[in-house]
A and B are shown apart, each in its own frame.
Chain A
Amino acid sequence: MKDEDKLGVGLDIGSTTAKGVLIDSTGRVIASHLQMTGASAPRSVESILSALKETSDLDLFDIPTISTGYGRNIVEIATDTVTEITCHAVGISRLNPEIRFIVDVGGQDSKVMRLGSNGRPADFELNDKCSAGTGRFLEVMARVLEVSIEELGPLALESQAPCTISSTCTVFAESEVVGRIGAGETPTDIAAGVHLAMASKIGSLARRVGIKEPICITGGVAKNPAFRHYLSKELGGELWVPENPQLTGALGAAYLALERH
Chain B
Amino acid sequence: MSDEKPYRRLETQALLQQIAFRHGLEAMNASEEGNLAWVTSGFPVEIPFAMNVFPTYPEQAGAIIGAQKIGPEVCGYAEDMGYTQELCSYAMVSIGSTDRPDDVPMGSLPTPQALLACNNICGTVLKWYDGISQMTGAPVYLLDTPPLEGDQTPHHREYVRSGVERLVEFLSTTFQTSLEEERFREVSELSSKAIHLWTSALKECQKSPSPLNCADRFLTMAPVVSSRGTEHCVEFYEALLEEVQDRAKQGIGAVREEKVRLLWDNIPPWFALRFFNKLAAKGVVFPADTYTHAWSGAVEGTDTRSILDAIVDIYSNVYLNKGLDAKVDKMCQLIKDFDLDAFVMFSVRSCKRYSLGQYVSKEIVTERTGIPGVVIEGDMVDSRLFNEAQIETRIEALLEMVT
Contact = CB atoms under 8 A, between A and B. Distances in A.
Contacts of A81: 396
B401 interface: yes
A121 B366 CA distance: 14
Nearest to B394: A126
A84 B372 contact: no
Given A129-B377, A208-B359, A124 B397 contact: yes
Nearest to B396: A83
B393 A83 contact: yes
A249 B288 CA distance: 34
Nearest to A209: B363
B14 interface: no
Given A83-B397, A122-B372, 10 more contacts: A85-B393, A85-B397, A85-B400, A120-B400, A120-B401, A121-B397, A122-B401, A123-B372, A124-B397, A129-B377
Nearest to A109: B390
B401 A121 contact: yes
B393 A129 contact: no
A128 interface: yes
Interface in A107-153: 120-124, 126, 128-129
A86 B390 contact: no
Interface of A: 70, 81-86, 120-124, 126, 128-129, 208
The 5 nearest A-B residue pairs measured at CB: A85-B397, A83-B397, A86-B400, A83-B396, A83-B393
Nearest to B386: A129
Contacts of B372: 122-123
Taking chain B's interface residues, is the majority helix, strand, or loop, or is none over half, making it mixed?
helix
Contacts of A85: 393, 397, 400
A37 to B, nearest CB: 14
Contact of A70 (B366, B374, B393): B393
Residue among A121, A122, A123 facing the most chain B CB atoms (10 A cut-off): A123
B223 to A, nearest CB: 36
Contacts of A86: 397, 400-401
A84 B393 CA distance: 8
B389 interface: yes
A126 B393 CA distance: 9
6 contacts: A86-B400, A122-B401, A123-B366, A126-B394, A129-B385, A129-B390
